[in-house]
Structure 1
Amino acid sequence: MAFEGIPQEMLAVQVVEFNKPYQIHKVPTPTSLKPHEVLLKTVVASLCHTDSMVTAGVFPTKLPCTASHEGTGIVVAVGSQVTNFKKGDRVMSGLPRNPCGKCFNCQGPNDWHQYCEHIEGTIGIFVDGAFSEYHVVDSRVSCHIPDEVSFASAAPLACAGCTIYRAIIVAEVPEGGWLGIVGAGGGLGHLGIQFAQARGLNVVAVDARDEGLELCKKAGAKHIFDARESKAKVVEQVRKLTDGLGVHASVNVSEHETSADMACAITRMHGTMVQTAQPDRVSVAFHELIFRDIRIKGTLIAGQEYSQQMLNDAAKHGVKVETNIFYGLEEVPKMVELAHSGKMKGKAVCVVDKAEFDKEKAQH
């Protein structure tokens, strides 16, 4: 039975066949919710690199599947056990949906729920995502959007923001210390520069594209290096900045085959390199691990606690999300084209509900 006032059909952008373009068509609107689920009227959804991995069949996704795991919207219905959201709330979509609540990971810290082996799925990857007029999320991982943060800014934060924010925490750089970000001029990187500096860290930004280097500067990075120069040159420059030692820790958000090695090389001995990019193989010279004792940590997204903290920090410190805005789900193919061009600065964002988007803009 459909929810009152909600149409029986909605427009959605779906992966129907791997390695084929998205199909944009009408599908049934969700008509029921599990106890912890929330139905959102989608206002903005954005494109992430992971979306191309889904399209390429990297994951065992059951098709058809609605794309995008970076969504924001307004609550229109809640499940029977939802206590933290009500109709009308502005929400940033959580990615995991319906973890089992009983396994080793679910019994651990809040951030471990994302690793649940019995989870129903991650929106936009294993279950339907946010490239639709309505989408379902889990209330236990979704977050309230502060008044100072727009729907368009919050959507990319749902994955890119959460991922880089947790990576900075995992890096454990002392206040006033040095953090290196390799791939700093991309969607995750330009957010990482701002979040790290807001936490009182000194940032070394490394990128290899003119557009990326420009975005590093726009994001406020004071120390920017071009990875197209030799690794030895970049390492030399970073060590000059850091008493000859290198950064305390680095975060690698680039999939380039040399980027993990670069991140380790700019890190001081006994330091940490946090890997967030997802290439098929992470390649690092053995001497970084053995003779320099660099520790490598992996990190995924973030739980509700860190995600809400991230949104609050974005509001408090005026974190700017570089967005390329497209209007209407029909424009998603153009978003994909821009993302694949290598010329994109920041994130490609789709305004799904223009009326709500315009209303928000008028209020601010």
Structure 2
Amino acid sequence: MKAMQLTTYDKNNIALNLVQVEKPKINARQALLKVTAAGVNPLDNMISRGEVKLIVPYKLPLIAGNEVVGIVEAVGEQVSEFKEGERVYARLPLDSIGAFAEYVAVDSSALAKVPDYLSDVEAAAVPLTALTVFQAFELMQVESGKTIFISGGTGGVGAMAIPFAKAKGLKVITSGNAINEQRVRNLGADYFIDYKTEDYSESLSNIDYVLDTLGGKETEKQISILKKGGQIVSLKGMPNRAFAKRMAFPKWKQLLFGLAGYSLDRIAAKHDVTYHFVFVEANGKQLQEASNILAKLKIKPSIDTVYSIDAINSALDKVASGHSRGKTVIQF
């Protein structure tokens, strides 16, 4: 089968190699998927550049790709919740990625059924962002009636986070480009901040939860708008000791991440709030819950460009450019 393989980490080269490999064999708890579409994400380029080696030390060569949609072709003898011919999707388990291939073996616990109203290409935009939001909300233990600020809510994560937050009973404040204001209001945002004309760190205070999609200096600004006891989950801030403990990393890694995240932990402590970092993991149960909400609301993710597997490196370059207006997808 065709597959796109990473052979070496290179900070200056994110290109993958097209190779022919054997179709994977499944164990008792896995399903074999014939891949129909795969999402292309900044994470794929981070892996190629070696930026997540401390979090997930992949052994090379590696078939790349984290987000998959496919048709079940076979199931292991211990798999009862899925059957041949069903359309499913997943954020692949951290230790067994490989969505950029014609077939992939996936642990059934990572899988969920694709809502009927989504095409394969549209479905490829869902797992990573949906699970990111669900796991962030779980970390913060969000409660109905409270307020969340979603920074950069006009992006792909925001398009998932806003309706999910409303489904959890939260009041939603978000920021972004004014061009997209009506779209995020249609998703359920209660208040919109145009980042070009208003500084959220000056106009907001006493916020219960923050979902930080921006990182950098913005993370510290978002910490400052939280009320005492508030919580922030960052997708782009620094990993910290709490993250390393949650991931059950060895002690030396916990120490290393503790040092890396010390500054943000210290700032959070100064404001009497809690800082979390999230690196999204596979979870079929959460993805199914997200799918049910999406199906009820009939939310369709935005798609930017669709490429073939042979043009994967163009897709990776597209994502690396940072100028996408929606998801980049590989269609098989």
Distance 2:172 2:231 in 1: 15
Q: Which amino acid aligns with 1:221?
A: A
8 Å CA contact retained: 2:143, 2:168: no
User: Which deviations, in whole Å up to 9, do the C-alpha atoms of 1:8-46 show, x marking residues without a partner?
Assistant: xx2222212222343342322324211111110101101
User: Which deviations, in whole Å up to 9, do the C-alpha atoms of 1:222-261 show, x marking residues without a partner?
Assistant: 422245668xx4233224xxxxxx221111122x311221
8 Å CA contact retained: 2:140, 2:232: yes
1:276 to 228, 235, 250: 235
Q: TM-score, normalising length from structure 1? A: 0.75
User: Which deviations, in whole Å up to 9, do the C-alpha atoms of 1:182-222 show, x marking residues without a partner?
Assistant: 23233222211122123332211134x67877874675534
Distance 2:183 2:313 in 1: 24
1:149 alignment counterpart: 118
8 Å CA contact retained: 1:326, 1:348: yes
Q: Which runs of 5+ in 2 are unaligned?
A: 240-259
Distance 1:212 1:13 in 2: 35
Write the mapping of 1:54-133 to structure 2, written as runs, cut at 5 A. 54-58=47-51, 59=53, 60-96=57-93, 121-123=95-97, 129-133=98-102
8 Å CA contact retained: 1:212, 1:345: no
Q: Which amino acid aligns with 2:6?
A: V
User: Which deviations, in whole Å up to 9, do the C-alpha atoms of 1:92-137 show, x marking residues without a partner?
Assistant: 124227xxxxxxxxxxxxxxxxxxxxxxx141xxxxx111111111
Q: Which amino acid aligns with 1:310?
A: A
2:4 alignment counterpart: 13
CA RMSD of aligned residues (A): 2.6
Any idea what SS the aligned residue of 2:65 has?
coil
Distance 1:85 1:24 in 2: 32
2:210 alignment counterpart: 250
Q: Which amino acid aligns with 1:342?
A: G
1:165 alignment counterpart: 134
Distance 1:24 1:219 in 2: 39
Write the mapping of 1:1-364 to structure 2, written as runs, cut at 5 A. 10-19=1-10, 20-58=13-51, 59=53, 60-96=57-93, 121-123=95-97, 129-207=98-176, 216=184, 219-227=187-195, 233-239=199-205, 246-254=206-214, 256-277=215-236, 279=238, 281-282=260-261, 283-284=263-264, 286=266, 288-290=268-270, 292-301=271-280, 303-352=283-332
Any idea what SS the aligned residue of 2:125 has?
helix
Any idea what SS the aligned residue of 1:62 has?
coil
Distance 1:214 1:269 in 2: 32
8 Å CA contact retained: 1:252, 1:260: yes
After TM superposition, give the deviation of residue 180 of structure 1 in Å: 0.9
Q: Which amino acid aligns with 2:220?
A: D
Distance 1:48 1:289 in 2: 32
Distance 1:178 1:334 in 2: 40
Any idea what SS the aligned residue of 1:306 has?
helix
Identity score, percent? 27
8 Å CA contact retained: 2:144, 2:169: yes
**Distance change >3 Å, CA 78–CA 167, structure 1 → 2:** same
Distance 2:71 2:234 in 1: 33
After TM superposition, give the deviation of residue 176 of structure 1 in Å: 2.9
**Distance change >3 Å, CA 82–CA 223, structure 1 → 2:** same
After TM superposition, give the deviation of residue 68 of structure 1 in Å: 1.2
8 Å CA contact retained: 2:15, 2:313: yes
Between Structure 1 and Structure 2, how many residues are aligned? 304
2:255 alignment counterpart: none
Q: Which amino acid aligns with 1:16?
A: T
8 Å CA contact retained: 1:24, 1:330: no
